[in-house]
Structure 1
Amino acid sequence: MLKLAALDEDDLKIVSAHVQDAVIRVGDMRWDKGARRFLLEINRFAWESPVNSVFNQRYERRRSVLHFEGVQAVRASGITRDKVDDVLVLLSIRFTPEDAPAGTIELIFAGDHALRLQVDYVEGRLTDLGAAWEAGSKPAHFG
């Protein structure tokens, strides 16, 4: 099980690598404006798992929570909040500093979908919630 914290841009790159190809329902994303927290429940592909290999041909996913603190505002592009059953595939997370330590955290999804979180600082946490289950295949990347 994985438990990571991101407290700067370099940490966020590590978290981004671990959540690449995570599958997320729109209904599993929440912004608590009062607590200034944005939370996503995700099914992440366990890239770090020793069973995920070309030779083994067995792959795993894990239910995880990814959340960010100090969130002042959330903007979405191509995502409709009332379509709670729409599924998104997370490609990457990046941070753009604006007035350090404040800036923008962008969550980039397949299909030209994105979220922008205006944050006071970088503080994100990724926590696996339980056991892994077998995934039918490994995500394919073309380029």
Structure 2
Amino acid sequence: MTDLKLLSLDNDDLTILSAHMQDAVFKPGDVDYTPRAGIFSVAVNRFVWEKAKRKDKSFERRRAVLTIKRVQAVRSIGFDRTDKEQVLNLLALNFNQKGEGPDGTLELVCAAGATIALDIECIEVQLADVGGAWETTSRPNHSDA
């Protein structure tokens, strides 16, 4: 399989990118924010949902980088940012537009009530696989049972 590379410039694109990021895991130590450049990035272990529908008993994860540009501020709730080794499980990327313009808040919504909120000028999000795939026997389960 070729490496995944996606660019999101609007909310429709972001919905597709979010689906590819669902169940990506990362640690606060994998997060980088450069305020002067307005760039937020996080290195994740992405679950490869595009191959998960197969009947195989094994699945894949890939190392990927999510980069968000035009970031004005970053906030987090629901986890200890100083604990660089805790594992966060990303559930979705949500954009809340402020008004008529392109600016708003992009949320990285994680399990257990953890969220990273980014105030952005507009949606400019990139996702790129940066490493080879590795096998996992665990498939994320979202049943309510």
Could you say whether these structures have the same fold, taking a TM-score greater than 0.5 normalized by the shorter chain as the test? yes
Partner residue, 2:34: 32
Q: How does 1:1-143 map to 2 (within 5 A)?
A: 1-49=3-51, 52-53=52-53, 55-99=55-99, 100-143=101-144
Q: Supply the AA of the counterpart residue of 2:80.
A: T
2:53, 2:97 → 1: CA distance?
A: 36
The CA RMSD over aligned residues, in Å, is 1.0
**Distance in 1 between the 2:33 and 2:85 partners?**
17
- CA offset at residue 92 of structure 1? 0.4
Deviation at 1:89, TM superposition (A): 0.1
TM-score (normalizing by structure 1): 0.95
Note the residue ranges of structure 1 that are not aligned, 5 or more in a row. Answer: none
Alpha-carbon distance between aligned partners in 2 of 1:115 and 1:35, rounded to the nearest angstrom: 18
Q: TM-score, normalised by structure 2?
A: 0.94
SS of alignment partner, residue 27 of structure 1: helix
The offset of 1:54, in angstroms, is 5.2
Larger helix fraction of residues: 2
Following TM superposition, by how much is the alpha carbon of 1:32 offset from its aligned partner in structure 2, in angstroms? 0.6
Deviation at 1:23, TM superposition (A): 0.5
1:7-58 Cα offsets, whole Å, 9 max, x none, are 0011111110000000111100111101101100000000012xx3352111
CA distance in 1, matches of 2:54, 2:12: 29
Q: Unaligned regions of 5+ residues in structure 2, if any?
A: none
Aligned residues: 141
The code of the aligned residue for 2:12 comes to D
Q: Distance in 2 between matches of 1:101 and 1:85?
A: 34
Q: Secondary structure at the match of 1:48?
A: helix
Q: Secondary structure at the match of 1:13?
A: helix
Cα shift readout 1:108-131 (whole Å, capped 9, x = no counterpart): 000000011000000000000021
Consecutive aligned runs of 4 or more in structure 1 exceeding 6 Å deviation? none
Q: Match for 2:118: what amino acid?
A: L
SS of alignment partner, residue 141 of structure 2: coil
